[in-house]
Amino acid sequence: MTDLSNNKMYAVKVIPQSRVSKPHQRDKITNEIELHKTLSHKHVVKFSHHFEDQENIYIFLELCSRKSLAHIWKARHTLTEPEVRYYLRQIISGLKYLHSRGILHRDLKLGNFFVNENMELRLGDFGLAAKLETVEQRKKTICGTPNYLAPEVLNRQGHGTESDVWSLGCVMYTLMCGNPPFETLDLKETYKCIKEVRYNLPSTLSPAAQKLISGILQKNPSDRLTLDQILNHEFFTKGFTPDKLPPSSCVMVPELHPPSPAKKFFTKMAKSLFGKKKAKGKHQQHSLFSESHRVSFMSSSHVSCLAPDNRLVCTERMLMLSLTNFLSFFPATRNPPCLSRPQSFLWVTKWVDYSNKYGFGYQLSNQNIGVLFNEGTHLSLCEQRKTVHYCLTNNKHFTFPASSLPEQLRSQKQIVELMANYMEQNLMEGGDLHCEEQVSGPPPLLLQWVKTDHALVMLFNNGTLQVNFYTDHTKIILCKSSDDSYLLTYISRERVSYTYLLSMLTELGCTSELRHRLRYVVQLLQHHADA
């Protein structure tokens, strides 16, 4: 409804007088109004005013134009982990406020979480809400929505704050799995499953999500995680939570942009090397390290977790030292002796920018093919395309035989093969530096790529930084060898490679041709960090 005096719009709850003809019915509505009008919190639907006439009671509430999580869930069926964290944080904030005031909601479900124009969540519908009572005083009435009822409620032990937490766990499960955890075709069977806490945790959930849901859906209320424990769980602390969601996420998977670990590193490095000084220039950045992935379906037995910062520890250590040394180079008439048999390392021999549709693809010197997808996931074809390595944006890494790839990954594998075939048929090798032996360990993952007017920069999680210059096709590759020394490889315009110990370059200097390119790399990274 619209208030014609100021054109302000409200959501209005209309209750026919015929539904409150009996005293206990009238008391229920009165209690709802009296309780709701006392609430004031960012994540609780705002109560404005109410009045009644002979036909209806009218309760004027804050308008939430995006409707509810039930509408979003119906359109999307499942949400990504970052979205679930985004909504759960707001639900928990509102719920902590209610519990601190001694109020139980008692009907937490998707339809009672409203979303406003700015994609902010509000808890609403306090028709079943009640003041918190001691265990002895708790009402033994079964109330709430069947799929979200806690075991103690069904067993007529009454509601406590733990019952709201149980419902929250059911909400989380529903958003991530597409259906409530205890849903069956028969209500009695549903109640039996709830009392026995009998449900399935799909392998599509990440291990952290599985652990959190298991910690919430505990039969004994005292064994359940508290709201604070939920917020401090690794599902929240180690996962990206967006500050805001786009309205398009109501109907489709959003494109989210978590802080890039490479950007974070460059900033720290630039502060150390250059202080606050800004570099001038123009460049285009493609930061594709996004966590809005569609799939998260591997079981915990396949998972090898990496702490978020660990991916760049090697990179940071190597580049901080290397780039500091760049600044102290001096001109020489010739470069120092290059290594006659340099240690084998992986570098990018071919690349293709298909980010307008899919992502960035590249071929390594051992013929492995990798693609960093626009959504932030990474897929590599290794061992002559017999093995698939897949990495989610939360750093979880999985390996599959190409012949038994999960169905959810097959479309991405086809895209990688498409790019691989294009590079094989249309592009030349980038130089004469080949991988003579199999490099052990998982394939390096591209963390970030940056295009400037003059060069392409690729940063990998194993500490390799590669810069390809467009005009003359020269390349600079920085990497760390197995004996902790630092190597710099220069591939000339004739595609001939020269590998130097960085310590030798620092000691003896280098020609202006190489020094000019190294200076550009330093300035590029400085600008990238300051931009």
Write the DSSP assignment of 21-67 as a string of letters.
-SHHHHHHHHHHHHHHTT---TTBPPEEEEEE-SSEEEEEE---TT-
Spatial distance between the Cα atoms of 254 and 80, rounded to a whole number of angstroms: 9
**526 phi and psi, to 5 degrees?**
-60, -45
Strand 8-9 to strand 378-382: parallel, antiparallel, or no bridges (unpaired)?
unpaired
Tell me which DSSP letter residue 197 carries. Answer: T
Residue that has been written with the tokens 């109501």 in this structure: 250
Write the DSSP assignment of 382-401 as a string of letters.
ETTTTEEEEE-TTS-EEEEE
- Give strand pairing partners of 480: 486
Who's near 170: CB < 8 A, 6+ residues apart?
A: 147, 148, 180, 181, 182, 217
Strand 446-452 to strand 397-401: parallel, antiparallel, or no bridges (unpaired)?
unpaired
b/e 173-192 (16+ beta carbons within 10 angstroms → b) = bbbbbeebbbeeeeeeebbe
Cα distances (angstroms) measured from residue 467 to each of 305, 345, 404: 29, 15, 36
Spatial distance between the Cα atoms of 117 and 193, rounded to a whole number of angstroms: 38
Q: Which of 27, 53, 107, 472 is catalytic?
A: 107
Asked if 413 and 428 touch (Cβ cutoff 8 Å), the reply is no
Spatial distance between the Cα atoms of 364 and 443, rounded to a whole number of angstroms: 9
Question: By C-alpha distance, which of 170, 40, 12 is closest to 103?
Answer: 40
The beta strands (E) that lie in 327-410 are given as 348-354, 359-364, 369-373, 378-382, 387-391, 397-401
Spatial distance between the Cα atoms of 423 and 472, rounded to a whole number of angstroms: 20
Q: Would residue 53 show up in a list of annotated catalytic residues for this protein?
A: no
Residue that has been written with the tokens 């390096």 in this structure: 444
Asked if 215 and 233 touch (Cβ cutoff 8 Å), the reply is yes
Active site residues: 107
